[in-house]
Amino acid sequence: MAKAFVGSNPTPCTTKMREKFKGCLLGTAVGDALGSSRGEFSGRWTDDTHMMMGLAQSLVERGGFDGEHLAWTFLRNYEREPWRGYAHGPPTVFSLLRDGVPWNEASRHLFGGRGSYGNGAAMRVAPVGLLYHDDPVRLREVAEAQSLLTHAHELGREGAVLQARAVSLALLAPPPSSFDPFDFLEELEGFTSHPVYLEKLGRVRRMLEEGGRRERVVRELGNGVEAHRSVPTALCSFLLHFGSFKEALLYAVGLGGDTDTIGAMTGALSGAYHGEGGIPEEWRERVERREELEALADDLWRLKAQKGRGGG
Ligand code: F2R
Ligand code: MG
């Protein structure tokens, strides 16, 4: 049984919380853009941020999770900007939706009926971690349901659940002076019973103890497009460098591999922890559609303030 890392009491929607909601969404975009930049930071982000925004838009418009609405929001956004670097899975689901396959069945057709274990459901899940941060049971339900739309495989789904829970913990975590990354890990270990992720979380613990040499982290945790080879990696990047958004991000993208997505997930965690003010101004001011991201974070925060515990 994990000891309490943060209070599980309802958290008032304070100004600081509002700043953290913005930090989380902007952090995703900045991490995605940094990871996909070749050379100088361009501020241009990819499918990770595009889908994260779709999820936030749908939650705000429907006042909570609505699978059908979310499916058509993803599809509409994809059809407007298909060039964002989507992998093969989501567009396949979108054409099945257009053919009339129900939103919660289409993803089961992928990968010979096994479903996808790509990191696509985890890379976009941050808004769920924010909206349901004080209700872990509902958080799990919604993180899984939004995954099912594109990622039916249990590894893809559980990766998204863990990333959402990690976002909620980062939001509520104590300041760096009293932050203990091992308590954070223990909390996550108490939240999953999946053997693959439990094993990976044990490896994250060892990487923290050993100091996080990059080659070793890549060997032990991975840096690929699979959820189980990238969600623990992003978590490790955040926990190794919880004192600085910039250091966590530079470390994460320096691991190579699926840099935009490991950057996006690390950015979501670090941004939720430090808030918008923790993101270097030179990145914040150049990130694409900054005002839209901030407005979306505000809408999500207002929805949370209105709904109270659970978030709908
Ligand atoms: N991969 C990209 N971008 C490259 C896309 C190139 C594009 N066509 C272009 O030219 O611009 N980035 C994005 O992909 C990752 C998220 O992927 P997602 O949404 O999970 O997609 P998918 O297709 O479901 O899974 C990705 C790969 O994972 C492997 N895989 C998944 N399930 C599998 C299974 N059951 N069996 C075997 N392999 C499985 C496959 O290799 C899939 O291609 C993010 O990085 C995002 O930024
Ligand atoms: Mg990627």
DSSP per-residue string spanning 260-281: HHHHHHHHHHHHHHH-GGGS-H
* Cβ–Cβ under 8 Å, residues 25 and 296: yes
**Mean per-residue pLDDT, 141-150:** 98
Cβ pair 51, 123 in contact under 8 A: yes
Sign of CA dihedral 30, 35, 37, 40: positive
pLDDT given for residue 125 in this prediction: 99
pLDDT tens track for 158-210 = 999 999 999 999 999 999 999 999 999 999 999 999 999 999 999 999 999 99
What count of other Cβ atoms lies within 10 Å of the Cβ of residue 263? 34
Which residues, other chains included, contact 23 with Cβ-Cβ below 8 Å and sequence gap of 6+?
245, 270, 271, 272, 273, 274, 275, 276, 277, 278, 279
Expressed in percent and rounded to 5, the helix, strand and coil fractions of the chain are 70, 0, 30
Alpha carbon 123 to its chain centroid, in Å, reads: 5
Report the atom number in ligand 1 closest to the C-alpha of 48: 47
> Class of 15-307 per CATH?
mainly alpha
> Ligand 1 atom 13: the closest Cα is on which residue?
87
Q: Which residue has the tokens 């609405």?
A: 69
CA–centroid distance, 26 to ligand 1, in Å, is: 23
CA distance 259 to 178: 30
> Band of the pLDDT at 15, cuts 50, 70, 90?
confident
> Whose structure tokens read 């971690």?
129
Mean pLDDT of the chain: 95
Domain boundaries, the chain: 15-307
Residue 264 Cα: closest atom of ligand 1: 47
pLDDT tens column, 206-255: 999 999 999 999 999 999 999 999 999 999 999 999 999 999 999 999 99
pTM to 2 decimals?
0.96
Pocket of ligand 1 (CB under 6 A): 46-48, 85, 87-90, 111, 114, 116-120, 123, 153, 225-226, 258, 260-261
Angle at the Cα of 190 from the Cα atoms of 175 and 120, rounded to 5 degrees? 80
CA distance 271 to 246: 10
Half-sphere exposure of 16 (CA within 13 A, CB side): 9
Residue whose structure tokens are 């993208």: 253
